[in-house]
Each structure stands twice: as structure tokens, then as C-alpha cells.
Amino acid sequence: MLNHPVLVLNQSYEPLTVCRARRAVVLIWEGKAEMIENGLGYIHTLTQAIELPSVIRLEQLVRRPHRQRKMTRYEIFNRDKYTCQYCGQQSRHLTLDHVMPRYRGGQHTWENVVSACVECNRHKAGRTPKEAHMKLIKIPAPPTGSPLFNIPYHYLSKRDEWRKYLYQ
């Protein structure tokens, strides 16, 4: 239970990071954070029961510079919500596919790279989607939302109480 993820919000309720429940309890105990949501239950000591938070808010504002998101496999899968952009299958076993193949002048950019399952990537091979008679579910674009924080998509399906604090 102490290893469950906890959403950490800035003093202004802006999402900062995800930490473990153990760290969140220590931050609350030291007075550096307050519990916003209790979604994990309790841990019991000899003398008391301590609530395990699901969402905490820091007492002091943490200033962080805004940065551009780097284009990584993780970010592309997260942008596409771990869904194949050709058949719509949700999976953790995806590959990257260049819509316009690189050998034909396609760039390695947000607008040209999508998530694809292995079967669709093999079927498309070195062709364009039109040549392979495949259609993209969503036109690729740079991710929207805050560049400060990007919550892994698989956490959202497990943590409904986090949704109101996240802007996706």
C-alpha cells in the first residue's frame, strides 16, 4: 500500500508530479503538504490509523520553468493514449510508425510519427497509409496540455479522483 502512486499538486492546484504513498505521508506529517483526496485507505500503527492520500497539495508554491516536451516513445504513446492509430487496438505492446516513411523524405516529427500495433506496422510496411489502404484514426499533432507535467495514461484509468486535477 505504501508504494501506490499519489498525485502531487502545487499550492495553486497545478499538477507537479507523482510520488509514492510513503513519501506523501511523510510530507503531510512534516506539515509540508495537505491531503486533498483519500483514495487508498489506511495504514494502522499501534496507536492510530493514518489515512493514505491519493492526491496531496504542497503548502508552498514551487516555481518550475515551462519546457518544451521532448519527442520520445513514451510521449508519443501517451499522446496517442496507448492506442494503435490504424486499427484502434489499445495495448502496451506498440511500435512507432512514420506516416510518411523516412526513406521517402518523412521527418521524425510530432506530425509524422504515430503509435501502431505490430500487425498494422507490418501491413503498412514502407508505404503511406493511402497506398496501404489504411486510415489514421487521428491526425498526429504535438501533444496539448501543460508541458510541465504529463501523467501516464494508464494511471488515469485506475485513478478517477485524479481526473479533475489534470488537464489533458
What pLDDT is recorded for position 111?
A: 96
Residue 156 CA: distances (Å) to CA of 44, 92, 98, 168:
28, 15, 27, 10
Residues of the chain with pLDDT under 70: 1, 66-67, 145-158, 167-168
What pLDDT is recorded for position 167?
A: 62
- Return the CA Rg of the chain: 20
All cell numbers assigned to 135: 486510415
Of residues 73, 85, 95, the one with CA closest to residue 132 = 85
Q: Whole-prediction pTM value?
A: 0.57
- Tell me: the pLDDT tens digits for 100-132? 999 999 999 999 999 999 999 999 999 999 999
What pLDDT is recorded for position 148?
A: 47
Residue 91 CA: distances (Å) to CA of 2, 79, 85, 115, 154:
27, 14, 11, 10, 10
| Complete domains list, the chain, with CATH | 1-62 (no CATH), 73-124 (1.10.30.50)
